[in-house]
Amino acid sequence: MKNIVIVGGGAGGLQLATRLGHYFSFSPLLKRRLQTPVASVTLVDRNRTHIWKPLLHQVATGALDTSLDALNYQVHARRNGFRFELGALQKLHRERKAIELAPVQDEDGRELVPAREIPYDLLVLALGSQSNDFNTPGVREHCVFLDSAEQARRFHRQLLDRFLQLETHITEQIQVAIVGGGATGVELAAELMDATRQIGRYGHIPRGSLQVTLLEAGPHLLPALPPRLGNNAERELSRLGVRVLTGCTVARADDRGLVTTEGEFIPASLRLWAAGVKAADFLSQLDGLATNRLNQIEVTPELVSITDADIFAIGDCAGCIDSASQRVPPRAQSAQQMAVTAEKNLIARIEGRPLQPFRYRDRGSLVSLSKYTAVGNLMGALVKGSLTIEGRLAGLAYRSLYRMHLAAIHGWPKAMLIYLIGQANRFVKPPLKLH
């Protein structure tokens, strides 16, 4: 029996493990487990639960409660025919075809599980990406990132602490600085303004008590979208009370705020960095795998490492030029599309058939401005060329993205049930997580 090991349970890795688990563990006709599967599938992740990364800005403001919306890997694995191993990738041993996981520790640093090895026949790296601080002095020490649910919860705890100081008159204003005018920065800025309004319902929070500054190095917000949409997003954020600075680069950060390259000091008790992404640094030292300047593993159009034919890479950690000679961008839709091709190619490898090249299809981009509006464009099968959308239509399309993600890992019936339960919770729980 072949061992397929997938490292990373993000949008691509979780979808791939689910699809492969079903293929190799269940009879397509009888819908029951096979007694002698051809391959086993193991998913490895450093966290016990999964939350869709594009929603982390909602976790940061409390609009999304991870205790209700997170998916438990262990439970999902049992239901979908694969195994789950808790741990972080520490080393790769290509010669003997095994990965080494770091020890698992409790909150106090005590070792629960020692370092261990997992053998593989085929390995898939789906480790996602992390924020790129561009070696800006002070950023790692004094800014929060939104690379994981734990970092988002950390920002949320700090935000609630500042609101407590505001309500008890310890401070008169909360100053938040967000670096990066892409989707994450824009969405977080809008969510923060809505969070202030929501928290004001339960306490004594005066208007204008939250000052949010959004800094973007480029000439307009949302550089991945047409300039008109970035300008529209800037006008909407300004209307909400967000101070937007474009063409502004951060020179350094400290515990009091940020200093721009022009010498302006921007005071901020909360500082969040969302200005670009790269793959994890340790990938460039992973037993000789070829990587690019962003630490991404270089792969062929079939998503196979150019160094090792038994190792695949998908998602943000894969440096891929697809069959149409286009560089695949680090986006959630890229990871999900790669998961579909990787599934076909892994099955083909085991069954002795030729592999298929990956072709990226841009479906467009949508950016939410909290409950106020949304902007974006749609491309691909739905429209010919590119269709720019804004307002309620864009908001509806944005909300459908998460339902499509749920459908990819649960199937449409269960995805719709989860959605209905979420809607019901809105009537019985506060609109914002306040603890």
What domains are defined for the chain?
2-129+279-351 (3.50.50.60), 139-275 (3.50.50.60), 364-428 (no CATH)
Lowest mean pLDDT among 241-250, 343-352, 377-386: 377-386
CA 137 – CA 60 distance, rounded (Å): 24
Q: Is the pLDDT of residue 171 over 90?
A: no
Q: Is the pLDDT of residue 29 over 60?
A: no
The residues, ordered by sequence, that sit 6+ positions from 177 with a Cβ below 8 Å of its Cβ are 212, 213, 215, 257, 258, 266, 268, 270, 271, 272
pLDDT of residue 199: 76
Supply the pTM of this predicted model. Answer: 0.91
Report helix, strand or coil for 222.
Answer: coil
CA 233 – CA 221 distance, rounded (Å): 7
Lowest mean pLDDT among 27-31, 38-42, 323-327, 431-435: 27-31
More confident residue, 240 or 310: 310
Q: Please report where in the chains the tokens 């890479």 appear, as a residue.
A: 313
pLDDT band (50, 70, 90) for residue 155: very high
CA 250 – CA 262 distance, rounded (Å): 9
More confident residue, 171 or 49: 49
Average pLDDT, the chain: 89
Q: Is the pLDDT of residue 394 over 70?
A: no
Token digits for 375? 């902007």
Average pLDDT for residues 322-344, to the nearest whole number? 93
pLDDT of residue 382: 44
